[in-house]
Homo-oligomer: A and B are copies of this chain.
Amino acid sequence: MTVRLDATDRKILAELQRDAGQSLDEIAKKVGSSKTPVWNRIRKMREAGIAGPQTVVLDAEKLGFEACFFVLIRTSEHEADWQARFLEALRSRPEVQEAHRLAGEIDYILKVRVKNARAYDAFYQALISEVKVHNVTALLSMEEIKSTTALPL
Which residues of A does B touch, CB under 8 Å? 1-3, 5, 13, 16-21, 48-65, 68, 70, 87, 90-91, 94-104, 106, 108-109, 111, 113, 139-153
Contact = CB atoms under 8 A, between A and B. Distances in A.
Nearest to A48: B62
A58 B147 contact: no
Contacts of A51: 56-59
Given A90-B146, A146-B96, A101 B54 contact: no
A1 B61 contact: yes
Contacts of A48: 62
A141 to B, nearest CB: 4
Contacts of A63: 2-3, 5, 13, 50, 151, 153
A56 B57 CA distance: 10
B91 A62 contact: no
A101 B142 contact: yes
Contacts of A104: 139-140
